[in-house]
C-alpha cells in the first residue's frame, strides 16, 4: 500500500503519512487508532517487535 493510498483511506494528507513513517513526527493516540482501523489491525500491532 502506498502512502497516498493509506492517506486516502484514512482521510489524511500523504505528507502526514510520510512524516509518521519517516519518524519525523509523533502521531497522537487518535491518529494511530484511525490508521489501525483503516488497516484493520489492533494499535498494538504498531508496537510489536
Per-residue pLDDT reduced to its tens digit, 11-44: 999 999 999 999 999 999 999 999 999 999 999 9
Given a cut of 90, whether residue 49 has pLDDT beyond it is no
pTM attached to this predicted model: 0.88
Mean pLDDT for all residues in the chain = 95
- How many C-beta atoms surround the C-beta of residue 41 within 10 A? 12
> What pLDDT sits at residue 34?
98
Query: Which is nearest to 31 in space by CA: 5, 2, 7, 48?
Result: 7
Q: Map out the domains of the chain as residue ranges.
A: 3-47
> What pLDDT sits at residue 39?
97
Query: Which is nearest to 12 in space by CA: 40, 29, 32?
Result: 32
- How many C-beta atoms surround the C-beta of residue 11 within 10 A? 8
User: Which residue shows C-alpha cell 500523504?
Assistant: 14
Instruction: Give me the long-range contacts of 39-46 (CB less than 8 A, separation at least 24).
Output: 39/6
Amino acid at each position: 500500500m502506498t502512502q497516498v493510498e493509506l492517506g486516502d483511506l484514512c482521510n489524511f494528507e500523504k505528507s502526514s503519512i510520510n512524516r509518521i513513517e519517516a519518524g519525523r513526527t509523533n502521531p497522537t493516540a487518535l491518529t494511530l487508532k484511525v490508521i489501525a482501523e483503516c488497516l484493520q489491525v489492533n494499535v498494538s500491532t504498531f508496537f510489536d517487535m
